[in-house]
Amino acid sequence: MVVATPNPIRSEKMRNIELPIIDLSAERPEVSGLIVRACQEFGFFKVINHGVSQDVIARMESQSFEFFAKPVPEKQLAGPANPHGYGSKNIGFNGDVGEVEYLLLSTNSASISQMSNVISPHDPTLFSSAARCYVEAVRGLACEILELMAEGLWVSDTSAFSRLIRAADSDSLLRLNHYPPLTEDSDTSPSSFRRIGFGEHTDPQILTVLRSNGVGGLQISLEDGVWIPVAPDSSAFCVNVGDVLQFNGRERPKETNWAKFALKAYTAFVKAMTNGRFVSVRHRALANSYKPRMSMAYFGAPSLHARIFPPPELVTPQRPRLYRTFTWAEYKKAAYSLRLGDGRLNLFRSR
The distance of closest approach from Cβ of residue 340 to ligand GA4 in the complex, given in angstroms and rounded to an integer, is: 4
User: In terms of CB distance, is 108 or 158 closer to ligand GA4?
Assistant: 108
Q: Which amino acid is at 330?
A: E
Shortest-Cβ-distance residue relative to ligand GA4: 92
User: In terms of CB distance, is 18 or 342 closer to ligand GA4?
Assistant: 342
Going through 15-149 in order, the beta strands assigned E by DSSP cover 21-23, 44-48, 85-91, 96-106
Contact residues toward ligand GA4 (CB under 6 A) are 91-92, 94, 96, 104, 173, 175, 201, 203-204, 299, 335-336, 339-340
Q: Which residues contact 224 (CB under 8 A, 6 or more apart)?
A: 250, 252, 254
User: In terms of CB distance, is 5 or 76 closer to ligand GA4?
Assistant: 76
CA-to-CA distance for 339 and 95, rounded, in angstroms?
A: 8
Residue of 10, 293, 319, 324 with catalytic role: 293
CA-to-CA distance for 195 and 49, rounded, in angstroms?
A: 33
Q: Which residues contact 275 (CB under 8 A, 6 or more apart)?
A: 310, 314, 315, 319, 321, 322, 323
The distance of closest approach from Cβ of residue 104 to ligand GA4 in the complex, given in angstroms and rounded to an integer, is: 6
Asked whether 211 and 53 are in contact (CB, 8 A), the reply is no
CA-to-CA distance for 243 and 246, rounded, in angstroms?
A: 5
User: In terms of CB distance, is 17 or 335 closer to ligand GA4?
Assistant: 335
Q: Is 324 a catalytic residue?
A: no
3-state secondary structure of 86: strand
The distance of closest approach from Cβ of residue 302 to ligand GA4 in the complex, given in angstroms and rounded to an integer, is: 12
User: In terms of CB distance, is 33 or 343 closer to ligand GA4?
Assistant: 343
3-state secondary structure of 219: strand
Question: How many angstroms separate the Cα of 227 from the Cα of each of 79, 122, 153, 281?
Answer: 32, 43, 29, 11
Specify whether the backbone of 265 is left (phi greater than 0), alpha (psi in -120 to 50) or beta: alpha
The distance of closest approach from Cβ of residue 79 to ligand GA4 in the complex, given in angstroms and rounded to an integer, is: 13
Q: Is the peptide bond before 80 cis (omega within 30 degrees of 0)?
A: yes
User: In terms of CB distance, is 138 or 150 closer to ligand GA4?
Assistant: 138
Asked whether 47 and 141 are in contact (CB, 8 A), the reply is yes
State the number of CA atoms in the 13 A half-sphere of 126 facing the CB.
13
Q: Which residues contact 263 (CB under 8 A, 6 or more apart)?
A: none
The distance of closest approach from Cβ of residue 297 to ligand GA4 in the complex, given in angstroms and rounded to an integer, is: 6
Q: Which residues contact 116 (CB under 8 A, 6 or more apart)?
A: 124, 125, 127, 128, 131
User: In terms of CB distance, is 165 or 173 closer to ligand GA4?
Assistant: 173
User: Nearest to residue 270, comparing CAs of 187, 341, 346?
Assistant: 346
Instruction: Give the residue numbers annotated as catalytic, written as ranges.
Output: 293
